[in-house]
């Protein structure tokens, strides 16, 4: 095994800034690791695109993270990209640890008391075969109210853009209105019989609307996301492969965006606990790229 392999960075990507919610959990779980985060803002949102588009973008991003950044693991911090492309990523990069995310339906089933669970997600995630399989695996264990939240991820993206106070106010109002529309469509929330008592945030962007959602659904409803479980799973995979960074080194982070890097930097400065350097702009090739070579051959699914 290459003794330097453990010091290689972990790649994390999303269609935009939503994956920062997963990155935040990863940094808390793995404080000594180096991370490279790429926001594909120039091609967002993924949730309302077709699978072919999302697969092509995911492969291009993974190829760049492997070739230009030398990553030892890849975290797909996007539910839509995981649903559409995680199998293609594992096939293209057979030696790389690839960890995906999925709506936290299983933890929600364990948490619910009324047996009714709300799921907010993108249209692409809800329409995917991967989500259908997950839902089928839980058949009979709970009643799920599924809600496609068109425009919400994009509204959260827009709210992260630097701008005057008036723009911030308008963005906040738009997020509030969309959240109100989609929670209302799922029916009553609460702890009474027949009400939704557990709400799954099935897009990594939606974590950044948690405070709004909490006001709308009330204090008795549990909000469930995937950040912490994904971070713990990533740690386990790295430990199994002998690729955890030495415990005495400082962590580090580099930020890249295919869109406006100032937006990514503003969001990271707001939502990540540690200070962040300026984000860098990057243009990615869209053709096939060589696979990563890693000392870990294990390809167990995330």
Please list the active-site residues: 78, 203
d(CA 70, CA 55): 21
Q: Is residue 183 within 8 Å of 189, Cβ to Cβ?
A: yes
Side-chain half-sphere of 25: how many Cα atoms within 13 Å? 21
Q: Can you tell me the distance from the alpha carbon of 63 to that of 178, in angstroms, rounded to the nearest whole number?
A: 35
Strand order in the sheet with 34-39: 97-99, 73-76, 10-14, 34-39, 252-257, 280-281
Say if CB 178 and CB 147 are below 8 A apart: no
Please give the Cα distance from 78 to 125 (Å, whole number): 10
- Compute and round to an integer the Cα radius of gyration of the chain: 19
CB burial readout 284-302, b (16+ within 10 A) else e:
beeeebebbebebeeeeeb
Preceding omega of 45 cis (within 30 degrees of 0): yes
Q: 279 with 262: CB under 8 angstroms? A: yes
């Amino acid at each position: 095994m290459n003794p330097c392999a453990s010091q290689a960075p972990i790649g994390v990507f999303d269609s935009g800034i939503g994956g920062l919610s997963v990155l935040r959990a990863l940094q808390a779980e793995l404080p000594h690791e180096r991370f490279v985060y790429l926001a594909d803002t120039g091609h967002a949102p993924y949730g309302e695109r077709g699978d072919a588009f999302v697969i092509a973008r995911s492969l291009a991003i993974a190829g760049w993270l492997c070739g230009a950044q030398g990553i030892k693991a890849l975290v797909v911090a996007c539910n839509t990209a995981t649903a559409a492309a995680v199998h293609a990523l594992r096939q293209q990069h057979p030696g790389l640890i690839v960890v995906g995310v999925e709506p936290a339906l299983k933890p929600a089933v364990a948490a619910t008391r009324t047996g009714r669970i709300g799921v907010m997600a993108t249209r692409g995630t809800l329409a995917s075969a991967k989500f259908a399989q997950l839902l089928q695996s839980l058949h009979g264990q709970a009643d799920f109210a599924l809600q496609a939240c068109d425009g919400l991820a994009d509204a959260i993206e827009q709210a992260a853009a630097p701008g005057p106070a008036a723009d911030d106010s308008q963005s906040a109002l738009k997020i509030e209105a969309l959240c109100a529309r989609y929670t209302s469509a799922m029916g009553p929330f609460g702890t009474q019989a027949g009400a939704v008592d557990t709400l799954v945030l099935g897009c990594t962007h939606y974590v950044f609307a948690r405070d709004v959602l909490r006001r709308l659904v009330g204090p008795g409803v549990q909000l469930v996301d995937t950040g912490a479980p994904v971070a713990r799973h990533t740690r386990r995979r790295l430990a199994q492969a002998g690729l955890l960074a030495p415990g005495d080194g400082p962590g580090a982070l580099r930020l890249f965006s295919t869109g406006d890097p100032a937006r990514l930097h503003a969001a990271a400065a707001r939502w990540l606990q540690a200070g962040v350097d300026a984000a860098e702009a990057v243009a990615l090739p869209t053709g096939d790229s060589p696979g990563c070579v890693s000392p870990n051959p294990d390809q167990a699914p995330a």
